[in-house]
Structures are given as structure tokens and as C-alpha cells.
Chains A and B, each alone.
Chain A
Amino acid sequence: MSKDIIDEADIIIRNYRTSDYEATLEILKELQDQFNIGLNEEKWRETSGLRQFKPNLKRITLIAELKSSGEVVSMGMLEAVKNNLGQYIGYLNNWATKKEYIGKGVGKILADKAEQILKSWGCESVRINMAYKGERKLIEVFGKAGFDPIIIVLEKKFNTDELNQTPIT
């Protein structure tokens, strides 16, 4: 594979299918190794990437596939979540590209498509959750695409054993 930018015409952007399960799992594992995104392989099921509809939530996993070989080279999940004020906010999650295709513009093509979809869903803005300890350089990269850092999310991980034992009253 050359280091040239991949042309948009050489990529198919489409919705996830159950047949993409293995390819997406591989990409997510790479992401897990790099950024510890909290991937639990048992919970990423064949159906997890399908278009989902739930009250106050819409979710799609987009797939970037090479036209020439049919290889899945990049993936990204987008969600529209209705907040307490009744507005839909778009989120881009687990945006990942296969190592050998990073820096070739595939992620940008995928993100542009995601923005179009989120706008069509009536989202007023789009947010990206990224690793706090991630490279500052990434913020600059997204900054060029119009993203500004506005909030910091703090997270406390629960012990899963405790979770199973605590009765809900």
C-alpha cells in the first residue's frame, strides 16, 4: 500500500452488516490496545453495529471499505442522543482506522459522511469523546475540522463484581 492519500472515489462508505463483525472486532482490538477504550469482546456482538433505534437514541456504525478489494479499512459509530432540553446531540465514538491506512484521509471521508447523517437526523452539534491521555496533536487535527474542546468528562470505573451483587432498591 502506498503512502498516498486515498481518493474518495476508491472508498465505499456504507452501514455496518453482520458480516463485518470480524473485521470491526479486529479494528476495535487495535484501538483497545492503543487507548484502552474499555472493549469487552463478549459485549461487541454481531448485531452491535447494526442501525439501532431506541427511545431518544439512534445509532449507526459506518464502515469504510476499499472498492478494489472489499477490505474494511475504517469504522466509526455515530449516535444521536436526545438531551434533557429535547435537543439531539451527535456523538462520534470509537472512530478507528486500520494501522496501515492511518494518515491516508479515510477517517476524514468517514467523518464527513457522519456529519451529513447527523445533520439529517436533526442534530444541532456533534461531539467526539477522545482519550484524555491521548495526543494533544489529535485535538489540533480535529480543530482543523471545526471541533473545539468544550467539556471534560470524568469517569470512575465500577468494579463489575460489586455491580452484580448490589441490589437495586
Chain B
Amino acid sequence: MVNLNGSSLSEKYPFEELAVVYVLFFDEAQGHVPLLIYPDDRYKNDKNFMRPIKYHPIWFLGAEDVLDHIDLEFKGYTFFGKRFLAKSLRKKRRAGLEEETPETIVIIVSLPNKIEIFGDDLIKTLTDEIRNNFGSKMYEIIQAEILRDQVIKSPETKKIIEKGNKIKAELMDLIDKTSEHFFSNVIKQSDTTSIKMQKAISYLALKGIDVAHIAFKNYKDSFSTIKLFDPNVKPSMKLNTKNTFSINSINLMNDSQELEILVQNNTNKELTNLTIKITHVKEYFEKEVLNEFIDLWFPKEELLFISPTLPQINEYIFFILDENKKERLFSKRINLELINKQNS
């Protein structure tokens, strides 16, 4: 992580090396404007740091798009982007927009790729918290940010800025508490069925987070008390959305021209109104190769999705989206080269 002025913030914000949270809004005059960056607002003046934020595909997502959020991978970090509309009473600076026209708020969370498995849940938790607690106050922070640039500030302007700053500080505090609570809970998981999760927890351990509670009982023959791959330990907290579906097999068919993905509903309940998408990423943009609507998915049922593959494209992303809640339930990256290697 960028270390501004050579000083570390890790004492004040112990999770600062894990996640950076960006709260931005769409300004009718200036475009994409950062409102707040956790753990340190000074990051917004760093051009290199802000580059992936500026070009993040979340800005191009339509208001009616069913995608819950969009990810961008950049230089070892994954940037999870989510967008929502918030109440506004701010006088807009473009003709045709009314004071009540809602504010477009974008939340982006960046995580090191090693722990990107936590991203889906972290961004959902953060967005819910911000929307529920600050949804009706966001415009006041925006107003303060805009007025801050004015050369001459009237007493009324100063009052608005002061109020905006106070709300912003509360928002920063909420993000800090939510992140801390999230990571404190997530490291209590010891889901031994997921190698990816174990790797992520190992990464947290290396960063000095206490994972001793998932050590083997009666473990004597090692220099360390930490043993993550204990098959006897049951997960203390499950990320339900991760276990609802599983990919049972992935095959390349017809001379690698078709990708066949076998997916199971692991629950004992019928799932309704889902959209399945297979996309590939090209120059920041996702393009669909399959888009199927599933009105009903029976308990434990396996479904087979077959999509064409494209020449020179080896990376695909498989999504399951909930049309009722408008959120992503499952995603999996698929690398054709890896599948070919595994099958050969």
C-alpha cells in the first residue's frame, strides 16, 4: 500500500494494509469526484493511486443493469465497485437537474488479490451500512466538498462545510468500525473445504492478525501453533452466498470451441429468478458470451451451461445473479489454459 509521507497509519487503523475504501460521487460539473478515502483522505491527491478508480468499469454500469457490482484487477489488487442512488436536496449545477435529483454514490473497495475472496461480502456489508446510516446525509458531505473550493466563504458556507466535515468524520468512523468488525469475524472462519479461503486466512496471519483460535488441539510436533488445514474443525461462521452453489466440473468440448460448466444448487430449497452470465474481460470491459434466465432451480439440482469460447480469449467469468435482490450470488474465474493443463 502507498505509504504517504513515510508514515504508517497502521496504529490508528490496524486494517489499513488490507483494504482501502473509496467513497465517490458523480458530480454533474466535474465527473467522478472522491468524497472520502479510508484509511487516509490524502490518497486522493496521488494520481497513481487514483488511476484504477478513474477507469473503473463501475462508472459505465447502467442504472438498470442487473449486475450487483463490478470488479477490476490492477497491479496485484482487486477493486470491487458498487453503486447506489442517495437522497439529495442540493442545488445542482446543470440545467435540467432538480434539487431532488438523487446523488450517484460509488463505493470501491480494494483488496490485495491474495484476499480478494472476501471482497464480495466486504463491499456488500460496507455499502449496506453506508446506505442505511448515511443515505440521507451524503448530499451534505457533497455540498461541503463543492463549497470547500470557493475562494470567498460566507459564514453560511463555513457552516455547511463544518457540518459536512462532521458527517464525513462519522462516515470514516463507520467504515473503520465496519472493516474491523468484518475482518475480525472473517478470520474466525476455518472453512477447511476452501483452499482459497485458507490462503486468504494465511495472508491475514502473516499480516499479524491473530488466528490462534484455529490452531490444532493437542498440536505438539511443530514450531508453530498455527495449523490452518485442520479437517476436524467446523466453520464457526459460514458465508452463505459462497456455499449456495458449487461448480462440479468444467470441460472444454468440441476442440475447445465450447465451455461446459456443471453447477449445482447445494441448498435444500428452490431458487427462483436467477440470471447466469458468462463474460470475458477485454480492456476493462466485460462482454457476455452467455446470458440465461433460470426461473426455477430445484434443490440439489445440477444444471449444465454451455457457452461458445472466443479465439485468443482464455479468461472467462461465471456469474450467478439474483434478479429479486439485484445482487451477485456467485462468481468464478475460469482460465481455459489451466483447464487444458488439468485435462491433459
Q: Does A53 contact B (CB under 8 A)?
A: yes
Whether the Cβ atoms of B302 and A18 lie closer than 8 Å is yes
Query: With a CB–CB cut-off of 8 A, which chain B residues contact A51?
Result: 301, 303-304
Whether the Cβ atoms of A50 and B262 lie closer than 8 Å is yes
Query: With a CB–CB cut-off of 8 A, which chain A residues contact B292?
Result: 53
Closest A residue to B305 by beta carbon equals A53
Whether the Cβ atoms of A15 and B290 lie closer than 8 Å is no
Query: With a CB–CB cut-off of 8 A, which chain B residues contact A52?
Result: 303-306
Query: With a CB–CB cut-off of 8 A, which chain B residues contact A17?
Result: 301-302
Per-residue CB contact flags for chain B residues 230-265 toward chain A (1 = under 8 Å, else 0) read 000000000000000000010000000000101000
What secondary structure prevails in chain B residues at the interface with A? strand
Q: Does B190 contact A (CB under 8 A)?
A: no
Query: With a CB–CB cut-off of 8 A, which chain A residues contact B57?
Result: none
28 A-B contacts, Cβ less than 8 Å apart? Answer: A15-B298, A17-B302, A18-B302, A47-B249, A47-B260, A47-B262, A47-B302, A47-B304, A50-B303, A51-B301, A51-B303, A51-B304, A52-B303, A52-B304, A52-B305, A52-B306, A53-B294, A53-B303, A53-B304, A53-B306, A54-B290, A54-B305, A54-B306, A54-B307, A55-B289, A55-B290, A55-B307, A55-B308
A-B contact count (CB 8 A): 37
Nearest first, the 8 A-B pairs at minimum CB distance are: A54-B306, A53-B292, A52-B304, A50-B304, A51-B303, A53-B305, A50-B302, A47-B304
Query: With a CB–CB cut-off of 8 A, which chain A residues contact B289?
Result: 55
B-binding residues in A (CB < 8 A): 15, 17-18, 47, 50-55
Closest B residue to A168 by beta carbon equals B255
Closest B residue to A164 by beta carbon equals B255
A93 to chain B, nearest CB (A): 16
Closest A residue to B293 by beta carbon equals A53
Q: Does B276 contact A (CB under 8 A)?
A: yes
Give the docked Cα–Cα distance between A120 and B190 (Å): 44
Give the docked Cα–Cα distance between A130 and B289 (Å): 33
B291 to chain A, nearest CB (A): 8
Query: With a CB–CB cut-off of 8 A, which chain A residues contact B249?
Result: 47
Query: What 13 new A-B contacts, CB under 8 Å, besides A47-B302, A51-B303, A54-B305?
Result: A15-B298, A47-B304, A50-B303, A52-B303, A53-B276, A53-B290, A53-B303, A53-B305, A53-B306, A55-B289, A55-B290, A55-B307, A55-B308
